[in-house]
């Protein structure tokens, strides 16, 4: 019964989300009242087949990460999100876990920044949402899964990022990441997923283990960054980290100084999107 209700709820809420409100084109003939299944899959970062099976009641026990991603993509209210967790057979995340909920009002704010690279991270630096400009600038994150979506993991264990660092800047950046993660772990000591990630980081990265064991403390700060883009070249951008009261989210916003070559390259990215230039 709960499996069917989960699928019915997803379908019902999918029908009420206008494509343009989710930053998607609304043109052409549309059979769906709101989002198509493939559009919901794209926004939630899961496969179309999985969305289909969930809606048809053929997939049981979705993970908390999948339910959270669907709640964000469907722009659910707090009560609707809690209901979706319960019909999935899960306990809605409580105050002891790192918040991952993006309110509809914050979603609307992000919609109005469509021409600016914006990424929303939780307090542990897990990427929750990236707009198309962020994907064009930093690389498309839609295929990232699990710890791959976490900025600390990517910088210590994964493939890193397009941000250029001198050796001194790299050391300071790494120390800032670890210090910030320690601060978050101290505020959410009961978050089991966070504890597991930290344990894996200590096991898989000697540099992370060194900094963690040294007890570095502090917070990651906004900075000016040089980003090496494979198509448009290097861009020097200001990266500001904004917070929303009561949410513990980190909204990363990249901007260029007007009238500069960096601003021109950022404008070119808006045209290119995530497509590669053809020589």
Q: Looking up tokens 């994150």, which residue turns up?
A: 141
Q: Mean per-residue pLDDT for 119-137?
A: 92
Residue 82 corresponds to which tokens in the numbers above? 């809690």
In this structure, are residues 88 and 4 in contact, taking their beta carbons and an 8 Å threshold? no
Instruction: Kindly compute the dihedral angle of the four CA atoms of residues 69, 71, 73, 74, in this order, to the nearest 10 degrees.
Output: 160
pLDDT of residue 275: 56
Label residue 174 left, alpha or beta by phi (over 0 means left) and psi (-120 to 50 means alpha).
alpha
Given a cut of 80, is residue 274 above it in pLDDT?
A: no
CA distance 160 to 127: 14
To the question of pTM greater than 0.85 for the whole model, the response is no
Given a cut of 70, is residue 221 above it in pLDDT?
A: no
Binning pLDDT at 50, 70 and 90, where does residue 215 land? Answer: confident
Sequence-ordered list of residues with C-beta below 8 angstroms from that of 2, at least 6 positions apart, any chain: 87, 88, 89
Would you say domain 104-272 falls under CATH 3.30.450.180?
Answer: yes
Q: What percent of the chain has pLDDT over 70?
A: 92
Tens of pLDDT, residues 1-20: 578 899 999 999 999 988 77
Given a cut of 50, is residue 79 above it in pLDDT?
A: yes
- CATH H-level superfamily of 2-87: lambda repressor-like DNA-binding domains (1.10.260.40)
Q: Mean per-residue pLDDT for 246-264?
A: 93
Given a cut of 80, is residue 277 above it in pLDDT?
A: no
pLDDT of residue 276: 47
Tens of pLDDT, residues 148-184: 999 999 999 998 899 999 999 999 999 999 999 999 9
- Domain extent listing, the chain: 2-87, 104-272
Tens of pLDDT, residues 52-70: 999 998 988 899 989 999 9
pLDDT of residue 278: 36
Integer angstrom CA distances of residue 120 from 101, 127, 176: 11, 6, 18
pLDDT of residue 32: 66
Binning pLDDT at 50, 70 and 90, where does residue 279 land? Answer: very low
Phi, psi of 274, deg, nearest 5: -95, 10
Q: What percent of the chain has pLDDT over 90?
A: 60
Residue 25 CB-density burial (10 A; 0-12 exposed, 13-18 middle, 19+ buried): exposed
pLDDT of residue 217: 76
pLDDT of residue 8: 93
| Cross-strand bridge partners of residue 150 | 126
Specify the range with the lowest mean pLDDT, choosing from 142-151, 162-171, 257-266. 142-151
User: Higher pLDDT residue, 110 or 50?
Assistant: 50
Given a cut of 80, is residue 26 above it in pLDDT?
A: no
């Amino acid at each position: 019964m709960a499996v069917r209700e989960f699928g019915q709820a997803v379908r019902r809420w999918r029908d009420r989300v206008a494509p343009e409100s989710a930053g998607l084109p609304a043109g052409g003939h549309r059979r769906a009242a709101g989002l198509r299944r493939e559009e919901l899959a794209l926004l939630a970062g899961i496969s179309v087949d999985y969305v289909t099976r969930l809606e048809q009641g053929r997939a049981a026990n979705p993970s908390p990460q999948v339910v959270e991603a669907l709640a964000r993509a469907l722009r659910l209210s707090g009560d609707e999100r809690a209901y979706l967790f319960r019909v999935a057979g899960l306990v809605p995340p409580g105050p002891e876990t790192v918040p991952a909920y993006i309110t509809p009002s914050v979603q609307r704010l992000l919609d109005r920044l469509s021409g600016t690279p914006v990424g929303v991270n939780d307090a542990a630096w897990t990427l929750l949402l990236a707009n198309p400009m962020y994907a064009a600038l930093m690389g498309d994150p839609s295929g990232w899964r699990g710890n791959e979506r976490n900025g600390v993991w990517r910088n210590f264990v994964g493939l890193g990022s397009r941000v250029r660092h001198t050796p001194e800047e790299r050391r300071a950046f790494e120390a800032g990441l670890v210090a910030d993660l320690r601060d978050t772990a101290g505020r959410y000591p009961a978050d089991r997923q966070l504890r597991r990630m930290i344990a894996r980081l200590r096991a898989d990265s000697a540099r992370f283990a060194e900094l963690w064991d040294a007890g570095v403390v502090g917070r990651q700060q906004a900075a000016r960054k040089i980003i090496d883009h494979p198509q448009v070249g290097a861009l020097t951008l200001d990266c500001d980290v904004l917070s929303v009261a009561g949410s513990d989210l980190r909204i990363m916003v990249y901007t260029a100084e007007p009238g500069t070559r960096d601003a021109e390259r950022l404008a070119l990215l808006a045209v290119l999107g995530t497509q590669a230039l053809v020589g």
